Amino acid sequence: MDKLAIIGGTGLDSLGILKVEKREVINTPYGEPSGPIARGSLFGKELLFLPRHGYGHNRAPHNINYRANIWALREMGADNVLAIAAVGGIRDDMPPARLVVPNQIIDYTWGRAGTYYDGGASDVRHIDFSHPYSEKMRQRLIKAACAANVTIIDGGTYGATQGPRLETAAEINRMERDGCHLVGMTGMPEAALARELGICYACCAVVANWAAGKTSDEITFAEIEDNLKLGMTQLVDMLEQLMA
Ligand code: HPA
């Protein structure tokens, strides 16, 4: 594989198995990324790692400097980015702790700096985003999961919401009618920015909870944490095969 970077998400923001050689502070024309970028090795292969919400989980989804994060990773040589993201499950076959590799996105976020081509210091460009994720990278993830005997769902539409609050049941109903299968807060503009810089980008979503209104229970942080822990175990098995 070419140079891989992982962006870790909620509950998945410390890759304990990563052997860190150094952490680099990168300044970008767009400001500072969520934190220093770790350069190290995972299962013996070179890897860059950035926790999307910062090392102390102190950046809410709408306050993440997505432009700086993607820019900094590219500056460090990443040409493949695996985004790990906690999500709510909408579709019946996407229960808590399941891994999903989405293939489409619907963007409900607003007010986020979402392009490098805004006509300021740069020109204005309109990238093709018909298929928002790298198919090659998606297939690598599916193959790795199969080799690791990890159940993973190939495809699904990721609905990106603004957060930081969770959704109402009516919002989830509307998203379901729109065709969303998963809901998360950080999938955009991250994917679009990676495409603008020509980075192969795919997402491995870990279902943390049933989306709002899908069960009669309140969504609790304890439940989210437990499911993410279960998801993380499977994710590590998948990563071992991915790096093999
Ligand atoms: N909604 C949005 N983002 C999320 C959720 C959810 O239910 N769970 C984890 N991230």
Say what the pLDDT of residue 115 is: 96
Question: What integer best gives the mean pLDDT of the chain?
Answer: 94
175 C-beta closer than 6 A to ligand 1: no
Distance 144 CA to ligand 1 centre (A): 25
Listed by start position, the domains of the chain span: 4-242
Whether pLDDT at 11 is above 70: no
Q: Which of 171, 209, 223, 226 to mutate to test the pocket of ligand 1 (most atoms within 8 A of CB)?
A: 209
Whether pLDDT at 13 is above 60: no
Confidence band, pLDDT 50/70/90 cuts, at residue 9: confident
Closest CA to ligand 1's atom 9: 87
Say what the pLDDT of residue 19 is: 87
Distance 135 CA to ligand 1 centre (A): 24
Q: Give DSSP secondary structure letters for the chain.
A: ---EEEEE-TT----TT-EEEEEE---BTTB--SSPEEEEEETTEEEEEEETTTTTT---GGG--HHHHHHHHHHTT--EEEEEEEEEE-STT--TT-EEE--EEEE---S----S-BSSSS-B-----SS-S-HHHHHHHHHHHHHTT--EEE--EEEE---SSPPPHHHHHHHHHHT-SEEESSSTTHHHHHHHTT-EEEEEEEEEEEPTTSSSSPP-HHHHHHHHHHHHHHHHHHHHHHH-
196 C-beta closer than 6 A to ligand 1: no
Please give the Cα distance from 150 to 145 (Å, whole number). 5
Confidence band, pLDDT 50/70/90 cuts, at residue 121: confident
Say what the pLDDT of residue 106 is: 98
Average pLDDT over residues 43-67: 91
105 in Cβ contact with 187 (< 8 Å): yes
pLDDT tens digits along 26-39? 999 999 999 999 99
211 C-beta closer than 6 A to ligand 1: yes
184 C-beta closer than 6 A to ligand 1: yes
What is the third-level CATH fold of 4-242? Rossmann fold (3.40.50)
Closest CA to ligand 1's atom 3: 184
86 C-beta closer than 6 A to ligand 1: yes
Average pLDDT over residues 145-168: 97
